[in-house]
Amino acid sequence: MILAALLLVFAVLGAIWTPHSPDLPNYANALKPPSLTHLFGTDATGRDMFSRVMNGAQRSVGAALLVLGAVFLIGLCVGILAALAGGVTDILLMRLVDITMTLPPLVLGFVVLGLLGPGLFNLLIAIIIGEWAYYARLARSLSLDAHRRPHVVAARMAGIPGWRIIWGHMLPGVALQLGIYATLQLGIMISIISGFSFLGLGVQPPAAEWGALLSESRLFFPIAPWLLIAPAFAIFLSILSANMLGNALRDVASPRAAR
């Protein structure tokens, strides 16, 4: 939890302040090893690597949070609608989910980026198109389960309107479980965004992003290995903290099971 909070602070701080300019080249300082002035050294154009990792956090973590927020909301709405409406609506929505899930995410990403062109925004759209279906399927299953719970049946028998049952009885539980799944996916999402940026399909230079930083640094690995270590370690820490956050949330969600 603390690690995740620190990462978030790091990402927010990186968006408004960095010790050096993350984008301004300084060729006199090129490929300097780590020192007190440049904690992670400098890259081939003399930019401070610590500042670029800091500045890149907003794109890596921020973009992952944005994608997860979007697929969470789409999945939640589609899942609850399918579960409660049933019948033709359920069948149509779930067949759409099936079709989306049959498309390999990587291929789908390449196709969408091929059609729309590379860039962070288009990358986010590509990931959302590939991911929403998994959340919708899970939300539907959780909603069906919640709808059968005794407290929901009791509320229906008491004459509580459907919207209040959804809002008060079902949504908090379904959203919490879906949120835990999303949190556990945060690390994977960061690695997907970094992966596409590494291939040059996501964030475009000179903007900093952890995957893009890895891509820029790989050519200099034999003479400046620190350039790879800094963004790789940032990705590692972010995935670790996201998984730990997911586990902590799961314990909060089921206090009896955690006892």
DSSP 148-191: HSHHHHHHHHTT--HHHIIIIIIHHHHHHHHHHHHHHHHHHHHH
* Chain center to CA of 157: 40
Nearer to other proteins, 27 or 163 (CB): 163
Nearer to other proteins, 167 or 233 (CB): 167
Q: Are 53 and 229 in contact (CB under 8 A)?
A: no
The beta-carbon contacts of 14-18 under 8 Å, at least 24 apart in sequence, are: 14/53, 14/54, 14/55, 14/56, 14/57, 14/58, 15/55, 15/58, 15/62, 18/48, 18/50, 18/51, 18/54, 18/55
Coil vs helix vs strand at 23:
coil
Nearer to other proteins, 16 or 256 (CB): 256
Q: Are 100 and 206 in contact (CB under 8 A)?
A: no
Residues near other proteins, by CB under 8 A: 149-151, 153-161, 168-169, 172-173, 255-256
CB of 90 to other proteins, least distance (A): 17
CB of 145 to other proteins, least distance (A): 11
CB of 256 to other proteins, least distance (A): 5
CB of 158 to other proteins, least distance (A): 4
**24, two tokens:** 């301004």
Return d(Cα 239, Cα 191) in angstroms, integer.
8
CB of 180 to other proteins, least distance (A): 14
Q: Of all helices (H) and strands (E), which one includes residue 257? A: helix 255-258
Nearer to other proteins, 23 or 90 (CB): 90
Nearer to other proteins, 87 or 159 (CB): 159
Nearer to other proteins, 1 or 153 (CB): 153
Q: Are 214 and 228 in contact (CB under 8 A)?
A: yes
CB of 88 to other proteins, least distance (A): 17
CB of 161 to other proteins, least distance (A): 6
Return d(Cα 166, Cα 202) in angstroms, integer.
38
Nearer to other proteins, 36 or 257 (CB): 257
